[in-house]
Structure 1
Amino acid sequence: MRSGLIAALTAGATLAASVSLASLAAAQEAGDTKAKVDNLEKLQGFRTTGVAEPPPIPQTGRRADAINRTLQKIKLPEGFKISLYAIVPDARAMAVGPNAGVVFVGTRKSKVYTVTDRAKDRVADEVKVFAPAIDFKIPNGVCFSRDGVLTVVEQNRVLAFPAAEFFYEGPDVAASVVVKQGELIPVSEESYNHTARVCRIGPDGKLYIALGQPYNVPPKEKAELYARTGIGGIIRMDADGKNREVFATGIRNSVGMDFAPDKTLWFTDNQVDGMGDDQPPGELNQATKPGQNFGFPWYGGGAVRTVEYKNDTVPPDVVPPKAELAPHAADLGMIVYRGKMFPEKYRGGVFTAEHGSWNRTTPIGARVMFVPITKDGTAGRPEPFAEGWLTESGEYLGRPVDVATLPDGSLLVSDDTAGAIYRIAYEK
């Protein structure tokens, strides 16, 4: 009897202690969240937060040496050279500042980084956390306006940072809220899948954001909600978040877009999984006007119908892709090349970053591709530009995510697996 009573008391004490610890942890988390919110409010009012600046990311050592060995295996066209530009943990989307050329790097985690080449020797001198007082959630999307305002698009919030290239030197930065937390998409549609947003500022000064939908193929009961909110499409709004509208629909999950000199919007789209190794193809698309439909979910990619919608009538105005990309290679970031360093062949063409397949029996991808574009907007056959991160045995030594150009016209390539940014230059 006594031993049973002692056991019961012990169990009760343990349970009480567990509840107490859980309550304490919850209170601590709530306090931390409130502090982060307060910090954002302080930054909006140009007040200091008191948050210490984290130490810079080391740029030398064993990790850098290993990446440099990998880069020796990368194949490029004649005259091109690749080198390590910066060590950046979890590097994803990139935005190059229009004033000083500072590179801002988004991630799928909780940090945004800045990369500075102070010596202008085309190698980063400093990599550090941007705005450490802010509690970011999947801040993948970064883009600049021509007047130097940095936009950061998270999973479900949009923030703007005026004069980011100048404020980034310290831990406190000027900030504003473009779209409040929980209002970019309905909270009910938040998911662990297809959460990496990308953005661009258009020639019209509006902010364009791609909103990947969370399913492989969405259920039909989601159609009205997604069409209305722009999930599975591209939305646009004024720089301050007003006048939001759906710009394009029929897009499964675009993680790369860019405007061409003719003001049309080009974008990649990752297509349906589970339909076999060799179908459907990925897509490179061109939006020439608002309101266009690019065919998903009726098409899984290219002209391949999805099983779930094979008996449904396809809308009559569906726009086909300008180029079909390798199936399941996961083309993510892209740019229309406007630099002058590369030979004439590449000017006005599209570079895409292939992240590499995950559900293919024979892996493909992990390379940078080039798609030539003629003056009339016709896309040529995609061709490898930089490859070698995928070994013959199927091991990924790196996974390219995004591409961007430095002011000198050289090409930057981010890699979230290696945690690095590479620079590709042309040497005559």
Structure 2
Amino acid sequence: MKRLSNYLSGTRRHAILLAPVTLALLLSACGEKGQDVEQHGPEPTLPEPQRGLLPTMKIAEPAPWGDQHPTVPEGYSITAIATDLKIPRQTLVLPNGDILVAEGKGGNASPTKPKDVIAGYIKSKGTTPVKGGNRLTLLRDADGDGKYEMKTVFADKLDAPYGLALVGDKLYVANQDALVRFNYRVGQTQASEPPVKVTDLPSKINHHWTKSLAASADGRLLYVGIGSNSNITERGMVAEVDRAMVWEVNAENGAHRPYATGLRNPTALTIQPRSGQLWAVVNERDEIGPNLVPDYLTSVKDGAFYGWPYSYWGQNVDDRVRPQDPDKVASAIKPDYALGSHVAALGVDFSEPAMGAQFAEGVFIGEHGSWNRATPAGYKVVFVPFRDGRPSGKPIDFVTGFFGADGKTRGRPVGVTVDPRGALIVADDLSNTIWRVTPNKAAQTAR
């Protein structure tokens, strides 16, 4: 309870006293009703909303990997190529094969209600005690043997860096408060000068602090995903200005505009090869049941509205939101593909043929894992197959074992990056590890 008291000390206490027995009663009073509902694909089954005092909250006890490691499909191998990092989030494979890792932890929003304090306490149980690095670390495998013998700080003194993109000789980094750029030359191991600010990003309050990033195929435009400042506007709409959307930013001068809106928390962005289409994974809202609302994968269309906060999965109205806006609901676009409720998708990247025939066409998605379901969801990397440029079929488990059979959590995947030479790079921000998954020759040629 001392840790819970620490959470309360930085908030408006609302004149409550949370003894251990009270906390237990609050949590047990809000158990899940009904069975888990499978929610994968373009037409998920959506149950009726469940309203209660608190959602069920459960994060497994963290445990070290020891001599264990995540599980990958037959014909694939997984190796830890970097450990002892400072909260790795997203990665970027550079032209010479070096890997940049964004490390940090942001956020500055204080909980506004007692239930938010408790939720924060529960979620903290599944995070690393390590302090965020606020830096970029460079990994290098000089001789190509799969062992990254160099680990060096490329740039530090950043502010919770997250999204990364390379356009020619410019390296762009989305900090929680600003989009910045470095000059970059191939083979460089350390930034040669401080970053230049491209544009400020909303950060006065950061309920969702991550700023995802992708560059257009021609490099002229950057796309920045900016999450909401609340679950469903509890802080008022003023706190949501310029948030819950994807910005389109001129890479040269920082001029920006809303590209797509109504996306509660677009945590990762990627550009589809050949088509140049922007795609995102989005974390949806909480507190209406263990099976609502599914997090999703979707193409992101210019000028489109995706529902938040007024509706979810198209025109399903969230009657908690005041005032209602029927016109906005009517305009809401249904996402392309449901990933399941509360899986917390935080990474996405399109595959390459070098990843093997079974996983040649589609996207890899890093699912950080739920905190508010009695039956945990996520805690794995999945592959969503595509056909004719669209998602097709159920997701396939690709990297599992983060949530162990013993009920303990050894890792939580965040960013996923495909190395076109044939590897998937996975950032694990619980064990502070970068994993590398590679196919053997049989997997690359199997049909």
Query: Which band: TM-score by shorter chain?
Result: 0.7 to 0.9
Task: Please give the alpha-carbon distance, in whole angstroms, between the structure 1 residues aligned to 2:286 and 2:406.
Answer: 23
Deviations 1:19-49 (A, max 9, x none): xxxxxxxxxxxxxxxxxxxxxxxxxxxxxxx
Which position in structure 2 is the counterpart of 1:198? 212
Report the counterpart of residue 215 of structure 1 in structure 2: 230
Letter in structure 2 aligned against 1:299:
S
Give 1:255 deviation, angstroms. Answer: 1.1
Alignment-derived partner of residue 168 in structure 1:
189
Q: Is the 8 A contact 1:412 1:422 kept in 2?
A: yes
2:198 corresponds in structure 1 to 178
Larger gyration radius, structure 1 or structure 2: 1
Q: Given the alignment, which residue of 321, 333, 336 partners 1:319?
A: 333
5+ long unaligned stretches in structure 1: 1-65
TM-score normalized by the length of structure 1: 0.75
CA displacement at 1:106 relative to structure 2: 1.0
Q: Distance in 1 between matches of 2:314 and 2:398?
A: 23
2:250 aligned with 1:250, yes or no?
no
Could you say what secondary structure the match of 1:353 adopts? strand
Q: How is 1:5-404 mapped onto 2 (pairs within 5 angstroms)?
A: 67=65, 69-71=67-69, 74-87=70-83, 88-98=85-95, 100-107=96-103, 108=105, 109=132, 110-132=134-156, 135-145=157-167, 147-163=168-184, 165-169=186-190, 172-173=192-193, 175-179=195-199, 183-185=200-202, 189-191=204-206, 193-205=207-219, 206-219=221-234, 221-222=236-237, 226=240, 229=242, 231-261=243-273, 262-287=275-300, 289-301=301-313, 304-309=316-321, 312-313=325-326, 314-337=328-351, 339-404=352-417
Higher strand proportion (structure 1 or 2): 2
Following TM superposition, by how much is the alpha carbon of 1:128 offset from its aligned partner in structure 2, in angstroms? 2.0
Instruction: Rate the CA distance shift 1:367–1:384 in 2: closer, same or farther, 3 A.
Output: same
Checking the alignment, whether the CA contact within 8 Å between 1:97 and 1:104 is kept in structure 2 is yes
Deviates further, 309-318 or 263-272: 309-318
Q: Distance in 2 between matches of 1:219 and 1:158?
A: 27
Q: Is the 8 A contact 1:348 1:373 kept in 2?
A: yes
Q: Distance in 1 between matches of 2:314 and 2:367?
A: 18
Deviation of 1:226 (Å): 4.2
1:56 is aligned to: none
C-alpha distance in 2 between matches for 1:363 and 1:425 = 27
More helix by share: 1
**Cα distance between partner residues in 1 of 2:407 and 2:217:** 42
* 1:82-101 C-alpha deviation (Å, 9 max, x unpaired): 11121233111111112x12
Question: Which shows bigger deviation, 298-307 or 250-259?
Answer: 298-307
Aligned residue type for 1:392? A
TM-score, length of structure 2 as denominator length: 0.72
Q: Which residue matches 1:44?
A: none
Q: Give the ranges of 4+ consecutive aligned residues of structure 1 lying more than 6 Å apart after TM superposition.
A: none
Match of 1:14 in 2: none
> Could you say what secondary structure the match of 2:358 adopts?
helix
> What CA RMSD, in Å, does the superposition of the two structures yield over aligned residues?
2.2
1:45 is matched with none
For 2:192 and 2:265, how far apart are their aligned partners in 1? 33
Shift of 1:378: 4.0
1:233 is displaced (CA, Å) by 0.5
Q: Tell me how far apart the structure 2 counterparts of residues 249 and 348 of structure 1 sit (CA, whole Å).
A: 28
Q: Greater RCO between the two (CA within 8 Å, min separation 6)? A: 2
Per the TM alignment, residue 172 of structure 1 is displaced from its structure 2 partner at its CA by: 3.8
- Structure 2 residue runs of 5 or longer lacking an equivalent are 1-63, 106-131, 443-447
Q: Is the 8 A contact 1:131 1:173 kept in 2?
A: no
Report what 1:27 is aligned to. Answer: none
Identity %: 26
| Equivalent position amino acid for 1:203 in 2 | A
Aligned residue pairs, count: 345
2:377 counterpart SS class: coil
Question: Secondary structure of 1:413's partner?
Answer: strand
CA distance, structure 2, for counterparts of residue 122 and residue 148 of structure 1: 26
Q: Structure 1 residues 394, 254: closer, same or farther in 2, change over 3 A?
A: farther
